[in-house]
Amino acid sequence: MTQTYAKIIGTGSFVPNEPITNDMLVERLAKNGIETSDQWIQERTGICQRYWANEGQTASSMGEIAARNAMEMAGISADEIDLVVVATSTGDMLFPSTACLLQSKIGAKKAAAFDVQAACSGFIYALTTANAMIQSGQVKTALVVGAEVISRLLDWNDRTTCVLFGDGAGAVILRASDEPGVLSCRIHSDGDLSHILHSKGVIYNGAIKGEPFIGMDGQAVFKNAVTLLGDVALEVLEDAQLPVEKLDWFIPHQANIRIIQAAAKRLNVPVEKVIVSVNEHGNTSAASVPLALDKAVRDGRIQRGQTMLLQGVGGGFTWGAALIQY
Ligand code: ACO
């Protein structure tokens, strides 16, 4: 019996509005008496600019544009989609899910739709879920989206977090195929680390209870991210019996250039094989990996038949990896 793989047949992405450069952010924060600089932000994070959604833009509206771009590349219509999974921590509403709103927007009438919440690892969790459903034969074609308006969770008086994040959406279309696609996926969690990265606000009797902003112990996040990304990369490489030298592209979660460089060094992946977009997008949480992937597919770096390692890490703590033949 031939094996069924989930194969990426289209990618798409979207970022809202004009870029906000570090200098523009410095000026904005200075009005609140908060001091930062382009030099500090670039040296510590590698971020040069980010994009922010305006009031009318949501995870589903940005996700729709990314999804339509991916569908166009794949050459499929909405009625061919059996499953819509959206990874987000900043969905349009509590319910219905952002995936259902997106399913309606694109007119994927026969698709099941649900959200996955695993913070910055969300896209890898969503991809892993869709891959399992394709491999089991339950669905043939899946739309997997990472979409965030994380700017709405930023405390503009906290310079340790508000300089890091941006908004955007990325999408892939996966289709059942007998040609190799997703080769191996692994996802993990450790809720004992929930205190190092969180956004605690909840709706309670008509009011917000708890801090509705991102809170982070930056150094603890840094250390855990590097270790866990290294561990899970080895897991999927071993599972697929692929030596790391055979890897063509490494697309880790785009949180911070220093985390990306440390993870690549730990794995022995040369810098030329690392796809970086954190400089352009900032940290877009669940959207970061599909945004970086789409960029590298569209600029011609990633070619059919090449192997790539996608990775997520973030609040929960959650982390995961997907090894894929494009
Ligand atoms: N501008 C200027 N100075 C700043 C800023 C800023 N935006 N933010 C902090 N500082 C200051 C601090 O106040 C501190 O000053 P002090 O020495 O006078 O006390 C100094 O810079 C150093 O602060 P640290 O927190 O020690 O800086 P560090 O080198 O650890 O860098 C950073 C902070 C960038 C957050 C780092 O810890 C990091 O990269 N952590 C990973 C976190 C991350 O990437 N999170 C993204 C979300 S999580 C995820 O996606 C996985």
Whether 1 shows a pLDDT value over 80: the answer reads no
Looking at the predicted structure, is the pLDDT value of residue 176 above 90?
yes
Q: Could you identify the atom of ligand 1 that is nearest to the CA of residue 120?
A: 50
On whether the CB atoms of residues 174 and 142 are closer than 8 A, the answer is yes
Band (59; pLDDT cuts 50, 70, 90): very high
Average pLDDT over residues 254-280: 97
Q: Is 256 in the pocket of ligand 1 (CB under 6 A)?
A: yes
| CA 159 – ligand 1 centroid, Å | 8
Do the domains at 5-179 and 183-325 have one common CATH topology? yes
Q: 121-157, pLDDT tens digit by residue?
A: 999 999 999 999 999 999 999 999 999 999 999 999 9
Read off the pLDDT band of 112 (50, 70, 90): very high
Identify the CATH class of 5-179.
alpha beta
What is the pLDDT at residue 2?
Answer: 83
How many CB atoms within 10 Å of residue 222? 17
Task: Report how far ligand 1's centroid is from the alpha carbon of 169 (Å).
Answer: 25
Which residue CA neighbors atom 25 of ligand 1 most closely? 218
Please identify which residue in the block is written with the tokens 């094996």: 3
Q: Is the pLDDT reported for residue 85 higher than 80?
A: yes
Average pLDDT over all residues of the chain: 97
Q: Which of 236, 240, 259 is nearest to 314 (CA)?
A: 259
Q: Helix 218-239 and helix 257-267: axis angle, to 10°?
A: 40
Within 172-322, residue ranges assigned H as helices are 218-239, 257-267, 278-281, 288-298
SS3 246: helix
pLDDT tens-place string over residues 276-286: 999 999 999 99
Region 25-45 average pLDDT: 97
Find out if CATH 3.40.50.300 is the number for domain 183-325.
no
Q: Is 283 a pocket residue for ligand 1 (Cβ < 6 Å)?
A: yes
Torsions phi, psi of 207, nearest 5?
A: -135, 165
- In ligand 1, the atom with minimum distance to the C-alpha of 288 is 50
Does the Cβ of 36 fall within 6 Å of ligand 1?
Answer: yes
Residues in a beta bridge with 109:
none
What does the domain layout of the chain look like in residue ranges? 5-179, 183-325
Which two tokens mark 235? 């897991």
Decide whether any atom of ligand 1 lies within 6 Å of the 214 Cβ: no
